[in-house]
Amino acid sequence: MGKIIQLDTHLSNMIAAGEVVENMASVIKELMENAIDAQASSIQIHLRNYGLTSIQIIDDGEGMDASDLTMAFKRHATSKIKTSHDLYRIASLGFRGEALPSIASVAKITIESSPNAEHGHRLIIQNGSVTHQDIGPPRKGTAIKVEQLFYNTPARLKHLKSEQKELSFIVDYVNKTALAHPHIRFQLTHDQKTLFQTSGDGNILKILHEIYPLEIIKNMISFEAKNQYFDISGFLCKPAYTRSTRQQIALYVNHRIIKNNALLHAVVSGYSTYLPKHKYPIVYMNINVDPLFIDVNIHPQKLEVKLTEQKNLEQLIIETIDTHLSKENLIPQIKKEYEPAKHPRSFNFDEASDKIVEESKQTSYLETSEHPPSSVLESTQKLPYLEYIGQYEGTYLLFQSEQGLYLIDQHAAAERIRYEQYYHAMQTDTKHVQPLMIPLTIPLSNQEMIALKDAKSIIENIGLTIDLSDSQQLIIHEIPNWFLKGDEADYAERMVRHVLHKDQISVGELIDQLAKDLACKHSIKANHYITTHEVQALLKALKQTKNPFTCPHGRPTIIQFQRTEIEKMFKRIV
């Protein structure tokens, strides 16, 4: 009888584990929260083999005696809700009572704990039940070791992302937790190498510097503001240092990490015109508020928090960011790498093709222009002979032929041409590289650097030689010849953004994304007058593309009004 109940519990724990224990980062999250709840002043996280072999968390918190220890592995053992504040704490930290049994159902756990320096206890839990119990070292606090994670749930194991990606989730979580608890000393190691460490002296800026390079730290603006309900403070990074995701916006309510899309949106709105589209800032913000204003959506994994008077807070955030940014001198301190590309560039396509021909002499990637392969010959016939008659709205080029009236979108057309040039260069011209006398450096966070490790061979595949040994900057020693002179840093940075933007990017995807991005950036924009001579060069180049009909994003480059349709509209024919 007892056995049946036991099995039931084990099964339900495994089911709960499916919800709570998603990956290594979620195990670490649960265990770190336990340590924080136990009032630890020091928390060490040691990983072996990305946490797959073992995750060990050692704290110097309150510790447990023998009976507390056994209770901790029973479901719903410890959630005692007394006040709404407790409810918030419990909900935002996850379900205390469920985490340990859930982890124990999918891993082997060894736990040593002691409430004082005199009596220590040790438990070993396997298959969800205690297999061993004895005396442990008398050290105040708890040391828990999770081994063979997901050994009995191979499906879960299969769902893990790449090892580097999983590690980057862990680093990101530890980073953000350290920012929430500046008075706790944190240390994160992987295979005995320290990845992150804080001193616990309460200095937020010092913790930020453990995460970001000095260059970014020097460009952080501290802020503080309040209204009748809320009190906000933290650091904003100047808009010159943007990110392609919102991941670097860290929001806390009463020093707890939260998720709240409306507040994220308010932060981005505060930066409004300072940021290009799809770029996000680096922000650390703590919101202090009476817990009575906090409304928690209780779900073990969601940290979604809603606040009463939230609109009021959104307004405060937008105004505070806006006023702090407008006070600053935001002209980026020109460092070669961050020099914005000169814009608008010359739209002289003759010059561009000259340059390409000249480059092709060195690099050979456009040799095809001298000996056009059959595909080029075919596409010259894809577009009819067109006679240029003028420009409309500084955006559309008008042409006529026997068949009717044609409009070409000058940006879309130029983009198609550039896209194919870049694409071709990236695919075929990886051997023509130039070593850099002074290596290029791109400042990145520790987490971004780790995420980048997966993509090293992909980046090198398109002709760069990179060095990932520094934890906060990417060092580039060699670049492909097709990188535009003076724009090398911009090219490299865009490439990094594309790599970091996706979970896993293939060489093909990277080439496609980067070629689209560079093509859009370096193509003539709408509302720009171009000379007849430039129009002819553009048309000629468009005719030579493989697909002259759409831009790389799928918009049409050319549309046609048939002569007969026009005649019908004027009732010249019926």
Contacts with Zn ion by CB under 5 A lie at 415, 520, 551, 553
Buried b or exposed e, range 393-418, using 16+ CB within 10 angstroms: eebbbbbeeeebbbbbbbbbbbbbbb
Angle between helix axes 410-428 and 349-363 (nearest 10 degrees) is 0
Nearer to Zn ion, 81 or 484 (CB): 484
CB of 22 to Zn ion, least distance (A): 37
Nearer to Zn ion, 23 or 410 (CB): 410
Please give the single-letter amino acid code of residue 450: I
CB of 413 to Zn ion, least distance (A): 10
Cβ-based neighbours of 529, under 8 Å, separated by 6 or more: 391, 394
How many C-beta atoms lie closer than 10 Å to residue 354's C-beta? Answer: 11
Asked if 156 and 106 count as a contact pair (C-beta separation under 8 A), the reply is yes
CB of 244 to Zn ion, least distance (A): 17
What is the distance between the alpha carbons of residues 309 and 378, in angstroms, rounded to a whole number? Answer: 64
Planar angle of CA 307, 310, 312, nearest 5 degrees: 145
Planar angle of CA 551, 553, 556, nearest 5 degrees: 40
Nearer to Zn ion, 267 or 520 (CB): 520
CB of 412 to Zn ion, least distance (A): 6
**Residue 413 CA to chain centroid, in angstroms?**
31
CB of 481 to Zn ion, least distance (A): 25
CB of 369 to Zn ion, least distance (A): 23
CB of 551 to Zn ion, least distance (A): 3
Cis ω on the peptide bond leading into residue 435 (within 30° of 0)?
A: no
What is the distance between the alpha carbons of residues 51 and 307, in angstroms, rounded to a whole number? Answer: 36
Nearer to Zn ion, 69 or 520 (CB): 520
Nearer to Zn ion, 451 or 515 (CB): 515
CB of 525 to Zn ion, least distance (A): 8
Nearer to Zn ion, 96 or 522 (CB): 522
**Residue 442 CA to chain centroid, in angstroms?**
15
Beta strands in 26-66 (DSSP E): 42-48, 54-59
Buried b or exposed e, range 227-244, using 16+ CB within 10 angstroms: eebbebbbbbbbbbbbbb
Q: Which residue has the tokens 């590289």?
A: 433
What is the distance between the alpha carbons of residues 520 and 555, in angstroms, rounded to a whole number? Answer: 12
Nearer to Zn ion, 21 or 551 (CB): 551
Nearer to Zn ion, 60 or 415 (CB): 415
CB of 528 to Zn ion, least distance (A): 13
Nearer to Zn ion, 520 or 541 (CB): 520
Phi and psi at residue 124, to the nearest 5°:
-120, 130
Q: Which of 452, 471, 462 is nearest to 428 (CA)?
A: 462
What is the distance between the alpha carbons of residues 27 and 265, in angstroms, rounded to a whole number? Answer: 29
CB of 414 to Zn ion, least distance (A): 9
Nearer to Zn ion, 174 or 551 (CB): 551
